[in-house]
């Protein structure tokens, strides 16, 4: 885009002789530099795309098998007739029987 803009400036200002020759030669060299950079970036992107396609071809499909998920189970319920709560020995808060730590102070429940 910059190269085409610079080329348009050169065509408008330098073809009629409105600008001094040093400016026109500097404009031409910058146009050539922009074109070289554009070609180099194009080649790098083509090489990167080819490397990506080759890596995918060697590895195979990304998801050849569906991902498996580990099922989550709720904590076991206490047997019938057993207390469903425990009291923390440190702070005295009543916690569920399935809790391993006190919800208030974080102390382990025994």
On whether residue 73 sits in a domain, the answer given is no
On whether residue 51 sits in a domain, the answer given is yes
On whether residue 89 sits in a domain, the answer given is no
On whether residue 81 sits in a domain, the answer given is no
pTM reported for the whole predicted model: 0.42
pLDDT at 2: 67
pLDDT tens string for the chain (110 positions)?
666 777 788 788 787 777 788 888 888 888 888 888 989 999 999 999 998 888 877 776 665 666 678 888 887 776 777 677 889 999 999 998 888 999 999 999 97
Boundaries of domain holding 37 = 2-59
On whether residue 92 sits in a domain, the answer given is no
On whether residue 78 sits in a domain, the answer given is no
Both tokens of 28, joined, read 């031409």
pLDDT at 78: 64
On whether residue 82 sits in a domain, the answer given is no
98 and 76 Cβ atoms separated by less than 8 Å: yes
On whether residue 77 sits in a domain, the answer given is no
Number of domains in the chain: 1
């Amino acid at each position: 885009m910059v190269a085409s803009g610079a080329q348009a400036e050169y065509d408008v200002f330098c073809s009629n002789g409105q600008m001094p020759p040093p400016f026109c030669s500097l404009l031409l060299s910058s146009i050539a530099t922009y074109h070289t950079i554009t070609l180099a970036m194009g080649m790098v992107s083509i090489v990167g795309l080819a490397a990506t396609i080759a890596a995918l071809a060697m590895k195979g499909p990304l998801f050849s098998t569906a991902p498996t998920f580990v099922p989550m189970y709720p904590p076991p319920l206490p047997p019938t007739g057993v207390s469903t709560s425990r009291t923390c020995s440190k702070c005295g808060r009543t916690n569920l029987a399935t809790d391993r730590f006190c919800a208030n102070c974080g102390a382990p429940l025994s």
